[in-house]
Amino acid sequence: MKTEPKKPEDLLKPQKYLDELAQSGVKYSQQDVVAVTKNVDGKLIWLEKGNSYAGFEHVMKHADEFVSKGIGKELIPEFLITAVREGKLIGMQRTRPIYQVTFNGKAYKVAIDIGNNGFIVGANMK
């Protein structure tokens, strides 16, 4: 039996993690979730549309940094989720952990600020 290829939204928002987020009790907006995953410690991490101060909209203020390093704007959510899921913690930028991650065959360093509840507040390339 042939299986259907996964759609991009299935990769960025696996239903099992969306269900877990819904049951977690944290404040979030389901329709605004851009991506969700678990980090290496098993903690639920998610990126929400947010606003100019936090979340995806805030990250996109730094979109040119990502593009200059070879990550297209459309790939930023996938890149961030991959970094928190698979990246190695290599340092700190003040309070932001810096992750080293291989994405599409290339090594990158990115600082990602994650709230205590798992919400991605901001990110910038290193």
- Asked, for residue 21, whether it belongs to a domain, the answer is yes
pLDDT in tens, 40-49: 899 999 999 9
pLDDT in tens, 56-90: 999 999 899 999 999 999 999 999 999 999 999 99
Domain carrying residue 31: 8-125
- Asked, for residue 3, whether it belongs to a domain, the answer is no
pLDDT of residue 3: 40
Q: What total of structural domains would you count in the chain?
A: 1
Q: How far is CA 47 from CA 1, 4, 52, 82, 126, in A?
A: 34, 26, 14, 12, 20
107: amino acid identity, one letter: A
Strands 33-38 and 44-48, bridge-based pairing: antiparallel
pTM metric for this prediction: 0.89
